[in-house]
Structure 1
Amino acid sequence: MIVTLVLAAEAAFWILLGLGLATRYLLRWRRVSTVLLVGLPVVDLTLFALTVLDLRGGATASWTHALAAGYAGFSIGYGPSLVRWADRHFQYRFAGGPKPVRSPEYGPERTRHEWRVCGRTVVSAAITLGLITALVPLSAGAAHFSDFTGWYARLGIGAGVNVIVAACYSLWPKEAPADAIVEDGRVVGRKVPRQ
């Protein structure tokens, strides 16, 4: 049952996101769009609530129950930035908006970008682990405990790798090519060599 709910929540997330952006830019219904976009975390939190009910009803704990917690953590940690990214691309593609700006590639701007991504990852992992911890007492005995606790190591490694990547950019910032003209960490042109 949980696998079906996870798939339904995934589909609902993308449908709500698409409808939210379509109503904002194509129909110009800003309030309806806001309600639809606010529904994005509600979908994932509803999935988690149904997961709790499933475990309380005597279901055997599995990795899919922990995945439901992961969806809620991802929605809270990455959701706002994902919506902003989709908003910029939808506006450009369908509403005549400006072309989306790429992520910075060089210098301190790239370092700050990496730390922002790292922050989202750490928040997402912390929330997911907190929700998984809340599920552990509901699991049916020690035999299924490892289905949940294995996520501690996986998410810890993922967050740790992200911290290391961001730290590397802090210690060794990526330098732009010598002939590049860089603004805000992005290459905007090339220097013409002197004859």
Structure 2
Amino acid sequence: MAIMVLVAIVVCEVAFWVAVLGGLAVRYLAGRPRLGMTLMVLAPVIDLLLLGFVAIDLLGGGTASWHHGLAALYIGISVAYGHRMIAWADSTFATRFRGARPRPKPAGAAYAIACWKDVARTLLAVAIAGGIVGGLILLVGVPERTRELLGLFPLLGIVLGVDVLWAVSYTVWPKKPATGQAVG
């Protein structure tokens, strides 16, 4: 059953991007902005389906594996970074298909600030993933079946720590602007 959770994660990731890219294609290529937005709104629904599948698996007697923890991490990242990923894809489509100006790439202090905003997003992702895992452990209530999930907590700390180090490094050593680009 654990392999089915891994397959569900992959299917949900593919479905997420199909919803986003399909929505953008309908919005920009077919000229149907409302329908495109409707398709993009399906992305969070896909996360809820994955969470439901994981919970049903564990409540149905399944034993937790690293796949279940990965599902929690995927959902946390999707919630925390999903809007930003969609905005990036939307901006890219607008530049490519509508002739919009590309977004300027931050450098210097602006890049450092962006890195610290990412730390906040990563903290949110880690909190969501940790909350999901903690909730699943409490919901199942059988430590022998959920012991594997405890291994996710140190990983969440490492993920957050790496992001903090990234932000600190660009705060101390600011990113140089691209040639011909002003510092923003």
TM superposition score normalised by structure 2: 0.87
**What is the rounded CA distance, in whole Å, between the counterparts of 1:32 and 1:156 in structure 2?**
39
| 1:64 is the counterpart of 2:67 | yes
Corresponding residue pairs, total: 180
Bigger share in helix: 2
Matches within 5 A, 1:140-155: 141-155=142-156
Cα offset for 1:26?
0.9
Q: Percent identity?
A: 35
Unaligned runs of 5+ in 1: 186-195
**What is the rounded CA distance, in whole Å, between the counterparts of 1:26 and 1:17 in structure 2?**
14
Aligned residue for 1:132? 133
Asked whether the 8 Å contact 2:80–2:122 carries over to 1, the reply is yes
Bigger share in strand: 1
Asked whether the 8 Å contact 1:9–1:44 carries over to 2, the reply is yes
Counterpart residue type for residue 164 of structure 2: V
CA RMSD of aligned residues (A): 2.0
**What is the rounded CA distance, in whole Å, between the counterparts of 1:62 and 1:161 in structure 2?**
24
**What is the rounded CA distance, in whole Å, between the counterparts of 2:70 and 2:181 in structure 1?**
41
Bigger RCO of structures 1 and 2 (CA < 8 A, at least 6 apart): 2
Cα offset for 1:66?
1.6
| 1:122 is the counterpart of 2:101 | no
Counterpart residue type for residue 110 of structure 1: Y
Aligned residue for 2:174? 174
TM superposition score normalised by structure 1: 0.83
CA separation of 1:93 and 1:182: change in aligned 2, threshold 3 A: closer
Cα offset for 1:142?
3.4
CA separation of 1:34 and 1:146: change in aligned 2, threshold 3 A: same
